[in-house]
């Protein structure tokens, strides 16, 4: 979706301000939100792509006006309500009012903590040979799916070069809408800054994205 | 940390007190619902937070970088397949698949961003700082990386190529910074002390020997 989350190349957000000795969390509730998202995902309520999609789908003014973990909370609530794990009136009441919807992997307990400290595996067997190889010139397709995608707007329509392939991996565009893993080849594709930002761009800068095969066409 | 979550909001941010207490109420409400419905054990949430607070952090990445600085074979393995190379180091936290290490050289400076959200090598660097997840960095890193570096007080020579890695898939990038001069003969442990988090994101350099920290 063409949302405000897709920020690459936007102007007007000001300087980067680093906070010296920044704490891991700025309030205790942030840690609880992080833990709830990790736990409910691990219990099978959603996959990582769906959770990203729900944060992106927050109204633009909410997305831009909310702190990071507030976005996580709002996205989590919307997701759990949409999928029927929590009811809207329960959120309002602050208590459970109806029976639970069973979770794919059951209740998240302390026994499950260790396994979530290692990232999931996203590599999958290849359903077809790779269409591209290192050194190939490719164009990022001019596509605008209204749902989740990992092809940022700033590269669409532009030509780059395949630098390496990462094998076949879960395709976020499908997984986010629960349409299956639909594995696709994944490549690092490199663009000159001038290709993306025009002739005045810094000639010493190159930018790469990791692009799934359906995002690319041969040049 | 695990059990004091009802108390410490007040200490943090007086100006936003009303928003914080509202957030506290909302988060507590959701946690009550998830607990009452039998989806999560509160103790499991405590354990997740504790694990993030103690097990992951830039000390893991720093050990990997220091090892690469002292062991050419390890460095080669790291650049070829970072997941496999890191998994040979028993004292570093386990990493998932898809970790890629990219090497800074006099010819090339690497910098990592996630323009779409906040993808970051958690196991190597811990949870990302606020600036990494915020609009100024995400918007400008791909368009004006030298300007962003200037915000950090970092200057990369004009003739050095800048390569920005936008983390748009599940690949996670770790920058291998250049080893500081004047560290000949240093041990891995001494070198690890010089490796900063930002130097592994590409928005900073390692500390210089003898400089005030």
- For residue B93, the domain's CATH number is 3.90.330.10
**Same domain membership, residue B99 and residue B150:** yes
Same domain assignment for residues B69 and B46: no
Domain presence at residue B212: no
Same domain, B142 and B180: yes
- Structural domain tally of chain B? 2
Residues B97, B42 share a domain:
no
State ipTM: 0.97
Task: Evaluate the CA torsion angle A173, A135, B202, B164 in order and state its sign.
Answer: negative
Could you tell me the two tokens for A40?
A: 């409910």
Residue A71 has pLDDT above 60, yes or no: yes
The answer on pLDDT for A165 being more than 70 is: yes
Token pair for A200: 């005045």
State whether B42 and B88 are in the same domain: no
Write out the residue range of the structural domain in which residue B36 sits: 16-54
CATH number assigned to the domain covering A137-218: 2.30.30.50
User: CB-based contact (8 Å) between B22 and chain A?
Assistant: no
Exposed e or buried b per residue across A117-126, where buried means at least 16 C-beta atoms within 10 angstroms of its C-beta: bebeebeeee
Residues B24 and B109 in one domain: no
Same domain, B116 and B35: no
Question: What is the residue-level pLDDT of chain B in tens, covering all 213 positions?
Answer: 334 444 444 444 444 556 558 999 999 999 999 999 999 999 999 999 999 999 889 999 999 999 999 999 999 999 999 999 999 987 666 677 899 999 999 999 999 999 999 999 998 999 999 999 999 999 999 999 999 999 999 999 999 999 999 999 999 999 999 999 999 999 999 999 999 999 999 999 999 987 655
- Which of B54, B79, B103 marks a domain boundary? B54
- Give the mean pLDDT of chain A: 97
Instruction: Give the residue from B82, B142, B150, B159 with the most A CB atoms within 10 Å of its CB, the best one to mutate.
Output: B142
- Same domain for B48 and B77, yes or no, is no
Residue B11 lies in a domain: no
Q: What pTM was computed for the model?
A: 0.94
Beta-carbon separation of B143 and A34 below 8 A: no
Clarify whether residues B49 and B89 are in a common domain.
no
A83 close to B (CB below 8 A):
no
Residue limits of CATH 2.30.30.50 in chain A:
137-218
What fold is seen in the domain A28-116? Cyclin A; domain 1 (1.10.472)
Q: Does B47 touch chain A (CB under 8 A)?
A: yes
Mutation target for A interface from B9, B14, B115: give the one with most A CBs within 10 A.
B115
A112 inside 8 A of chain B by CB:
yes
Note if B139 is an active site residue. Answer: no
B104 domain-assigned: yes
Q: Looking at residue B2, what is its pLDDT?
A: 38
User: Does residue B8 fall inside a structural domain?
Assistant: no
Chain A's closest residue to B22, CA to CA, is A29
Q: What would the pLDDT profile of B30-72 be if each residue is shown by its tens digit?
A: 999 999 999 999 999 999 999 999 988 999 999 999 999 999 9
Token code pair at residue B83: 């997941």
Q: What is the DSSP string of A143-176?
A: ---SS--S--GGGTT-EEEEEEEEEEE--HHHHT
**In the predicted model, what is the mean pLDDT of chain B?**
90
**Among chain A residues, CA nearest to B14:** A27
């Amino acid at each position: 979706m063409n949302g405000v989350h897709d920020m690459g190349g936007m102007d007007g957000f000001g300087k980067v301000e680093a906070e010296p000795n920044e704490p891991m969390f700025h309030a205790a509730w942030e840690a609880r939100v992080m833990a709830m998202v990790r736990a409910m995902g691990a219990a099978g309520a959603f996959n990582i792509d769906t959770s990203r999609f729900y944060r992106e789908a927050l109204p633009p003014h909410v997305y831009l006006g909310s702190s990071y973990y507030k976005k996580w909370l709002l996205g989590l609530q919307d997701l759990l309500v949409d999928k029927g794990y929590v009811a809207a009136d329960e959120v309002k009441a602050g208590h459970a009012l109806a029976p639970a919807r069973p979770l794919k992997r059951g209740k998240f307990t302390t026994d499950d903590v260790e396994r979530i400290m290692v990232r999931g595996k996203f590599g999958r067997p290849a359903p077809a040979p790779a269409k591209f190889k290192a050194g190939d010139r490719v164009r990022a397709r001019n596509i605008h799916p209204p749902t989740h995608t990992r092809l940022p707007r700033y590269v669409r329509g532009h030509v780059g070069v395949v630098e390496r392939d990462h094998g076949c991996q879960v395709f976020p565009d499908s997984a986010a809408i629960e349409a299956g893993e639909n594995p696709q080849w994944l490549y690092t594709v490199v663009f000159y800054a001038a290709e993306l930002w025009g002739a005045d761009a810094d000639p010493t800068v190159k930018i790469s994205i990791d692009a799934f095969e359906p995002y690319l066409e041969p040049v | 940390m695990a059990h004091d979550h009802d108390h410490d909001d007040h200490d943090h941010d007086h100006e936003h007190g009303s928003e914080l207490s509202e957030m506290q109420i909302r988060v507590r409400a959701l946690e009550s619902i998830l607990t009452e419905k039998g989806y999560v054990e509160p103790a499991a949430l405590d354990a997740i937070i504790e694990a993030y607070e103690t097990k992951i952090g830039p000390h893991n990445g720093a050990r990997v970088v220091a090892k690469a600085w002292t062991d050419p074979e390890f460095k080669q393995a790291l650049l070829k397949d970072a997941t496999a190379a890191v998994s040979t180091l028993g004292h570093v936290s386990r990493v998932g698949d898809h970790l890629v290490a990219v090497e800074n050289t006099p010819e090339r400076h690497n910098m990592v961003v996630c323009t779409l959200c906040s993808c970051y090598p958690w196991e190597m660097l811990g949870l990302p700082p606020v600036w990494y997840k915020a609009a100024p960095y995400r918007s400008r890193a791909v368009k004006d990386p030298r300007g962003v570096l200037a915000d950090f007080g970092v200057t990369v020579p004009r003739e050095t190529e800048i390569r920005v890695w936008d983390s748009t898939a599940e690949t996670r990038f770790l920058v291998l910074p250049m080893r500081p001069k004047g560290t000949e003969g240093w041990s891995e442990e001494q070198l690890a002390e010089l490796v900063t988090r930002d130097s592994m994101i590409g928005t900073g350099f390692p500390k210089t020997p003898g400089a005030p920290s």
